[in-house]
Homo-oligomer: A and B are copies of this chain.
Amino acid sequence: MREVAVLGIGQTRVDEHWDKSLKELAGDAVLAALQDSGLAGAEALYVGNMMSGPANHQQHLGASIADWVGLRFSSAMHIEAACGSGGAAFRSALIAVASGSVDTAVAVGVEKMTDSPGNEITAQLATAADADWELEQGVSFVALNALIMQRYLHEYGWNKSHFAAFSLNAHANGAHNPYARFQEPISEAIYNRAGMIADPINLMDASPMGDGSAAAVLVPADYLRSRQNQTIIRVVASAAATDTISVQSRRDGLWLKAAESSARQAYAQAGITPAEINIFEAHDAFSIMAALSLEAAGFAERGQGPRLANDGEIRPSGRIPISTRGGLKARGHPVGATGMYQIVEVVQQLRGEATGTQVPDARLGMAQNIGGSGSNIITHILKAG
């Protein structure tokens, strides 16, 4: 396989984009990424999205978005892996370029959630869980995560307030990101006062939905050798793993086995240890998921994710910065787009363009995108220079 590099990135702010249709939103990110890359088009288009059929009455996003941006592609398709759709689209684009089947590919993640009533979106989000064995019980997606968090507090002796540090870090970082849905820091008092959604998950533990789109242009790394003035961002690892879709079927509901497996594969591909990672864009859809991700990826001992957060080690100045542009919590979580926002943000860090939350000397960045309650986890490692 050929080594692949990210040549361009683009994104829209996560917001309520009532004035744009799904394809316009995706088009804005695709065209921004192409402009950033200096290319006029690309051969392949991979679109990450979870729920455009029911939420936007539009499937066939490959053809729809290709047409809207006024380009023809030799291959265009839509990739879905629930909240992991963006990471799956990036992985597909990467493999297409690495294989030699195309020389240029655009991966874009897009989701438009705020045109529909909230209860409809909640029902659609629940289709990431098992229809027959989880949804039939009436459990929503946040309720599933609440059951996991409740058990975590019980097993490891943490209080709910120990999770505030995840939310505070995310919102402090989001305040510097013009593309974030929320751009204000929050206080511990705000966290503690936040309304409960599904005990123990309150509003400040949960990421907000939103409309958004993020994209990247991929080319063979060799093509960039001649560009002297540009930092080359190489993709040095892409790995994925599946686990049972139902949380109840797992031997250990507090361990993200698929995250551990995909992270280990990724470290092996990149030839590094976790200690060498400078930034980690974790999938903090809920604060409990940030903790479990840190543990499964090897940055914290089992049950000790909250300690890392409370010691300040997840901040941009810490040992393993996460949510550096706000994460899912403050940048927002337009589900099918999230994995691509993570990639775009890692590239910003590696280019030194993460104004306000730049991690010093960032050379190796990891993005980990989770589909479902840990059932499909995709890990990428990018390297500058």
A60 in complex: contacting residue of B45, B75, B371, CB < 8 Å: B371
With A62-B81, A99-B98 as known contacts, state yes or no: A72 contacts B243, CB within 8 Å: yes
With A67-B245, A91-B75 as known contacts, state yes or no: A1 contacts B53, CB within 8 Å: no
Measured between beta carbons, the chain B residues less than 8 angstroms from A132 are 21, 23
CB pair B100 A1 closer than 8 Å = yes
Chain A interface, >50% SS class: mixed
The CA-CA distance from A243 to B22 in the complex, in Å, is 19
The CA-CA distance from A132 to B65 in the complex, in Å, is 12
CB pair B100 A67 closer than 8 Å = no
CB pair B60 A375 closer than 8 Å = yes
CB pair B101 A62 closer than 8 Å = no
With A78-B79, A243-B72 as known contacts, state yes or no: A62 contacts B1, CB within 8 Å: no
Contact with B along A209-253 (1 / 0, CB 8 A): 000000000000000000000000000001111111110010000
CB pair B240 A75 closer than 8 Å = yes
CB pair B60 A135 closer than 8 Å = no
Q: Which residue of B lies closest to A48 (CB)?
A: B77
CB pair A74 B240 closer than 8 Å = yes
Q: Say yes or no: is A96 at the interface (Cβ < 8 Å to chain B).
A: yes
CB pair B240 A76 closer than 8 Å = yes
CB pair B75 A63 closer than 8 Å = no
Q: Say yes or no: is A3 at the interface (Cβ < 8 Å to chain B).
A: no
Measured between beta carbons, the chain B residues less than 8 angstroms from A61 are 80
Q: Say yes or no: is A263 at the interface (Cβ < 8 Å to chain B).
A: no
CB pair A265 B81 closer than 8 Å = no
Interface residues on chain A, size class: 35 or more
The CA-CA distance from A205 to B24 in the complex, in Å, is 36
Copies, count: 2
Q: Which residue of B lies closest to A21 (CB)?
A: B132
A76 in complex: contacting residue of B23, B53, B56, B242, CB < 8 Å: B242
CB pair A80 B92 closer than 8 Å = no
Measured between beta carbons, the chain B residues less than 8 angstroms from A29 are none
CB pair A74 B239 closer than 8 Å = yes
With A67-B245, A131-B21, A246-B67 as known contacts, state yes or no: A77 contacts B62, CB within 8 Å: no
Measured between beta carbons, the chain B residues less than 8 angstroms from A131 are 21-22, 56-58, 64
Q: Which residue of B lies closest to A24 (CB)?
A: B132
Q: Which residue of B lies closest to A244 (CB)?
A: B67
Q: Say yes or no: is A107 at the interface (Cβ < 8 Å to chain B).
A: no
The CA-CA distance from A241 to B62 in the complex, in Å, is 11
Contact with B along A87-122 (1 / 0, CB 8 A): 010011001101111000000000000000000000
A263 to nearest B CB, angstroms?
13
Question: What 7 A-B pairs are tightest by C-beta distance, nearest first?
Answer: A99-B99, A60-B82, A63-B375, A58-B131, A59-B127, A78-B80, A75-B240
Please list 24 pairs of residues, one from A and one from B, whose beta carbons are closer than 8 Å in the complex, sorted by A's number. A21-B131, A51-B53, A51-B59, A52-B127, A54-B54, A56-B131, A58-B127, A58-B131, A59-B80, A60-B82, A60-B129, A60-B245, A60-B376, A62-B242, A62-B376, A63-B372, A63-B376, A72-B241, A74-B239, A74-B241, A75-B241, A77-B376, A95-B101, A99-B99
Chain A residues proximal to chain B, CB less than 8 Å: 1, 21-23, 45, 50-54, 56-64, 66-67, 72-82, 88, 91-92, 95-96, 98-101, 123-124, 126-132, 135, 238-246, 249, 265, 371-372, 375-376
